[in-house]
Chains A and B, each alone.
Chain A
């Protein structure tokens, strides 16, 4: 098995937004997936929201995490609204919040459009709507600006600001330092699997 990351030492405090930079293949997505409890580190210790990622408690913190990855995770056969309502039903959030969240990202009029017929940019907006609805304590964003128009870029900034206002934290991975500079309080660079914070 190949080693993707080694000697990574990163701590993120509440109210902090960390920009994770690095070239393609540097390990940004892998690190986000480790923080997001989706990959277990083969050695070392990782604590996220107080939970040791090597223990069972990592499952308990998952509803407090938000992750927007490269590929939208919507169900193409369901409408944009139905996709959000599904997330609401799973997490126990009020169903009516789904419609409000869609309005908040400017997709109120497209609520009944099938996700499979929506553009990539619209699908990303729905994912942002999901994070607005679920209010995660730790938001992980992987290349959040890809395929977004300028108004959607403002939306990302708004969502990040919202998480920080609630004393949450954000880790944002990007290869474009300039585009995310205004959203982060600190930066760290991944080079060859090592982190230079």
Chain B
């Protein structure tokens, strides 16, 4: 890959992260929202430690997926047509644009996952020693959801459908990631299960390929 590609990817990611830092949407809206969502479940099902520890990991990833959808919707709203034109005329490689946006989303998602993980460990009484697989599962989930959100946002923009379409695209396609994440962690307690992790890796790789192949046509039709 030429240097120009990486410079453009880094510039796009930096821009998106700077915009998020200034708007404070993740820090002040989404993180508290996620924490409250995790808090509501014990209130609803009762403080039964066995039940909570059984559903804790699953709840964490449900909240993460909801945040992934919110991030994707936000991404779709973030750029005006004039900004999209300006980006195109700067000569941005569409693949670099996809990679930069997905990278920024993945960083935000990873931060969110770690913080929500701490909340889930505290509220659901989970055993951190059983979370060894999380070091692989969390980044894979973040990257996969980020790719999915970026592609869905680009599709919604290109067909002028608006952000309403994004959750409809992201949610069903995120199911393999969600299943892979929860099953890897759950089965990991009994000595590990590589097949679910491989499924996640395959999904992440497939989405990366789709993102690369569709980047140019989606940039052109938006």
Contact = CB atoms under 8 A, between A and B. Distances in A.
Is chain B's binding surface mostly helix, strand, loop or mixed? helix
Interface string A68-89: 0111111101100010001101
Contacts of A71: 80-82
Contacts of A63: 89-91
A92 interface: yes
Interface in A82-116: 82, 86-87, 89-92, 114
Contacts of B22: 77-78, 114
B18 A62 contact: no
Interface residues of A, number: 27
B82 A90 contact: no
Contact of B90 (A36, A62, A72, A114): A62
A90 B222 CA distance: 20
Contact of A73 (B4, B7, B8, B85): B85
Contact of B85 (A69, A86, A89, A90): A69
Interface residues of B, number: 24
A75 B85 contact: no
B83 interface: yes
Interface in B74-116: 80-83, 85-92
A69 to B, nearest CB: 6
A90 B80 contact: no
B11 interface: yes
A91 B12 CA distance: 12
B164 to A, nearest CB: 23
B18 A89 contact: no
Nearest to A62: B91
B88 A38 contact: yes
Interface in B4-31: 4, 7-8, 10-12, 14-15, 18-19, 22-23
A125 to B, nearest CB: 15
A67 interface: yes
A156 to B, nearest CB: 18
A38 B222 CA distance: 10
Contact of B11 (A66, A69, A89): A89
A92 B88 contact: no
A92 B89 contact: no
A65 interface: yes
Contacts of B11: 86, 89-90
7 contacts: A36-B89, A69-B82, A75-B83, A77-B22, A78-B18, A91-B90, A91-B91
> 5 closest Cβ contacts across the A-B interface?
A63-B91, A73-B86, A77-B22, A89-B11, A73-B82
